Structure 1
């Protein structure tokens, strides 16, 4: 026996749907039974005509009529399909009911819509999901504030607006200080709680019309509209106090937090979003360097701008010199303190310029490090030093490497390849590392030292005494040579403090069986004093300064200046 099917209107109602027929000429709408199940709070009088029903629709009341007008013209008797979405609200306090309407319209004799039939259904869940996706595409999921993409777009719009109306605004970058320490001490979940709370505190102190967004992991961007320079200073202190005055409660206990701020006045000192962001970044970095929890406002600086022009020029010169093989070596002898025989030569970088002048290492290395070019320079220096060692079998050379090079996998690949190509070179190579590197990453540096020593090379710590490396770390690293910083050596014959310091370093190094080199030896009196204290090698003006001429003969034996 075939069961009796319920009426179509009952099925539609159970699915949250209702069918309708809309007569355009009379503007009357006929609905299927149980339409009240779809529109429970809508009075029947509001459903009898298109005009009455449109009064409940938002955001655009005319959306139904416009959908028919924008549809392609009817081609036959099957009608023209359409689909629209809109909200229905019965009162200002009532929630919006989101509706999806699907149907077809049929043309009259004039070819225009005369009759519409279709189905409406409630799609609140689908609309909520769409709204959530839109929100996620615009907002940071952790804080709920604008994400970086939309923050930058809002900044560009604000700059355009201030330019057009000759007003002013400010862009701020607020950076949470030492967030990495919180990550390490408590975990990322606690750090996330701190970020969320800082965002809430900043949000609570904004004015109407101001814009807040999360710029990056520990940074927030603020657009402060109608904001003068005086207003910027007041606002910055308000935000800084809001972050620092109360500890942040977390599941791991209260956490004390500070923030630093960099700001720029727009459009006075920034005509584009990129320029505003760069200058806010610059001042934020300056604030952090000065003191955590401080504020810095961008202002023009003639010296800074001139230095940047120099940086751009030097960058081009270094890259060109690398490409044209104008990066060359100078060799400074390091001699045994007793015999004054050359033990090895320190390779120092030089850059030949187009006008014939030569730039020395102090002119090149700091700029190359600052501009991110030191990696390329160090690769070239390695090639030159290995080539010299391969060409002179009896010579020992040392080269200086920058801190970043110790962790550069490409440098390792290069040295491994060169050592395999030139057997016997590694044993005559000394790699000098500045003391500051040893302080920062002692465990990583120990791996670097071990790999080099496995090649057969020796390791020297350069400028020892200028930083804070302990002799315990020297023993842990297993270095072969300590080069005593020349600032303590150059006046050793005239300074009792320098004598006590250098003599102590030499004595401790001897106890650890580490060789010592005294740099910047200026006179014979100092050289004799260092020799008597047990210093192994000396280097400096007394012995001979660096020269681009190879200070050894064809057999690799030293040819030192007569002063030696």
Structure 2
């Protein structure tokens, strides 16, 4: 091997590599000439023996000898291959030189390593690349802070540590307020600059040992160790002030930014990372809803927990009832205010329970809307109403749907299919859009209304006055009927304010050529007032409450005039 080194030296020199032979009995290392170039700043004495060379190795000095002992045993006359990587540093002030060593060792008579020979080469670029990949796997590329995965891991570790040592820590979620507005107004590059700057300002205000990570697009998570409730309040104000007190300079000019914070004390109120995240999230949403730029701390709430149990139970009941076809209809008459002749029936949902009792719409719809089940309920109600209309050609029916359902292409596909399958049904259908759910995109809703009216159906806004729809939007939508919220109608005989409100609505609707229906009419006095004010239709206790029995035997001839 030694005699071959000079011949190989020329090849190795061109590759930036050096060869060696290491005699383990004497610990002497013989290097090729190229070693001087590879280890240019290392004295020859430090390369002369395995012991001296190991003094330069980081992080594990024994890595070379252990590589020989841990590799597969060599057969007689054959070498056992090995490959290792390590750093070499001549002094603490010098950077680490990363080395890749590839070789074989040969056994002596006792079967143990007696000699090793191989090649070393500098591998700084690959090591830097590996370090970069490792960093990218752990950190958010925009802010350089921990990514969500490693933030959650740090949170879990902190909770475990706090539980073991009976200390307290905190988990905070900091959400940048109205980041979507910044995106829309200035562009995503400016929003990214805001995110980076907010991360920097939070980082400057952390204590040693605290952990910061990017939880999601506009949210940062913080793990504050050894943190009491008082500490949390102080820290939260420090973070909020640091974010809001100075504008963020960007390429498009200065941007004013605020943030909100939701926090939970762990392990007192969260025994694991998922619980801590959920409760911090919940508290952050509450803080944003109450006032942007504020701080909220999670605390137990008996009413909230009880309501959640109810939500879970009702959700399960709704889904089960849908699957078992236990969603049924009740029919409430709507009559002309002047003649009291029935014009149409409002279809109200009922849910049969296992014990035979019925859940009414107020028990079902709010939970269904809140938990995202209203689309499924609306699909089933549509099927039931169209079936009734197809079976009873002289009846007109109205059904309620949520504005959320109007954005559902599957629901529109269903109604379109049913209308084509049952000619003449569309003209006897009134679709009521509940106003208690905010109409987010009036233009999309207008498209939905137009398509329905092209079939011949009419559109009503239900519970008008309780939500967000203005008369301007009524004109924009082209609705045919406004149903005045019963909360304003039921006391008109006793409340001057309610009388003024209802009378004004009726007058405005009449000027816009929109028919009006007064809900929750309780007594004859109220019915007569509404008639005199020009209200077109009334419904409620005075007329008759909803019944699951089909009330039409002979259907009244008087019907609502056709739309338009």
TM-based fold match above 0.5: yes
Q: For residue 248 of structure 1, give the secondary structure of its aligned residue in structure 2.
A: coil
Shift, 1:437, TM fit: 5.2
Shift, 1:76, TM fit: 4.1
In 1, the alpha carbon distance for the partners of 2:465 and 2:407 equals 23
In 2, the alpha carbon distance for the partners of 1:124 and 1:166 equals 45
**C-alpha distance 305-493 of structure 1, shift in aligned 2 (>3 A):** closer
Residue aligning to 1:339: 339
Residue aligning to 1:419: 419
In 2, the alpha carbon distance for the partners of 1:165 and 1:494 equals 65
Residue aligning to 1:282: 282
Residues 99 and 121, structure 1, Cα contact 8 Å, conserved in 2: yes
Residue aligning to 2:518: 518
**C-alpha distance 173-280 of structure 1, shift in aligned 2 (>3 A):** same
Shift, 1:467, TM fit: 3.1
Segment drifting more, 513-522 vs 344-353: 513-522
Residue aligning to 1:551: 551
Shift, 1:457, TM fit: 1.4
Residue aligning to 1:505: 505
Q: For residue 255 of structure 1, give the secondary structure of its aligned residue in structure 2.
A: coil
Segment drifting more, 529-538 vs 288-297: 529-538
In 2, the alpha carbon distance for the partners of 1:464 and 1:89 equals 78
Residue aligning to 1:43: 43
Q: Does 1:317 align with 2:317?
A: yes
Shift, 1:557, TM fit: 4.3
Q: Does 1:61 align with 2:61?
A: yes
In 2, the alpha carbon distance for the partners of 1:466 and 1:526 equals 20
Deviations 1:350-375 (A, max 9, x none): 12222332221111111222222222
Residue aligning to 1:386: 386
Residues 438 and 468, structure 2, Cα contact 8 Å, conserved in 1: no
Residues 436 and 463, structure 2, Cα contact 8 Å, conserved in 1: no
Residue aligning to 2:242: 242
**C-alpha distance 460-274 of structure 1, shift in aligned 2 (>3 A):** same
Residue aligning to 1:117: 117
Residues 341 and 556, structure 2, Cα contact 8 Å, conserved in 1: no
Count of matched residue positions in the alignment of Structure 1 and Structure 2 = 553
In 2, the alpha carbon distance for the partners of 1:537 and 1:232 equals 58
Residues 393 and 556, structure 1, Cα contact 8 Å, conserved in 2: no
Residue aligning to 1:3: none
Residue aligning to 1:32: 32
Residue aligning to 1:195: 195
Deviations 1:526-563 (A, max 9, x none): 3233223322211222211211111211x54489xxxx
Residue aligning to 1:222: 222
Residue aligning to 2:476: 476
Shift, 1:33, TM fit: 0.7
Residue aligning to 2:172: 172
Segment drifting more, 296-305 vs 249-258: 296-305
Shift, 1:14, TM fit: 3.4
Q: Does 1:307 align with 2:310?
A: no
In 1, the alpha carbon distance for the partners of 2:241 and 2:283 equals 19
Segment drifting more, 350-359 vs 18-27: 350-359
Structure 1: which 5+ residue stretches go unaligned?
1-5, 560-564
Deviations 1:112-132 (A, max 9, x none): 111111111111111111111
**C-alpha distance 205-396 of structure 1, shift in aligned 2 (>3 A):** same
In 2, the alpha carbon distance for the partners of 1:62 and 1:404 equals 67
In 1, the alpha carbon distance for the partners of 2:46 and 2:473 equals 85
Residues 437 and 445, structure 1, Cα contact 8 Å, conserved in 2: no
In 2, the alpha carbon distance for the partners of 1:379 and 1:102 equals 68
Q: For residue 236 of structure 2, give the secondary structure of its aligned residue in structure 1.
A: helix
Residue aligning to 1:434: 434
Deviations 1:373-413 (A, max 9, x none): 22221121111111111111111111111232111122122
Correspondences of 1:97-136 after superposition (within 5 Å): 97-136=97-136
Residues 403 and 445, structure 2, Cα contact 8 Å, conserved in 1: no
Residue aligning to 2:19: 19
Structure 2: which 5+ residue stretches go unaligned?
1-5, 559-564
In 2, the alpha carbon distance for the partners of 1:513 and 1:487 equals 24
In 2, the alpha carbon distance for the partners of 1:251 and 1:330 equals 61
Segment drifting more, 21-30 vs 159-168: 159-168
Q: For residue 110 of structure 1, give the secondary structure of its aligned residue in structure 2.
A: coil
In 1, the alpha carbon distance for the partners of 2:141 and 2:405 equals 38
Residue aligning to 1:458: 458
Q: For residue 350 of structure 2, give the secondary structure of its aligned residue in structure 1.
A: strand
Q: Does 1:75 align with 2:75?
A: yes
TM-score of the superposed pair, with normalisation by structure 2: 0.94
In 1, the alpha carbon distance for the partners of 2:68 and 2:416 equals 74
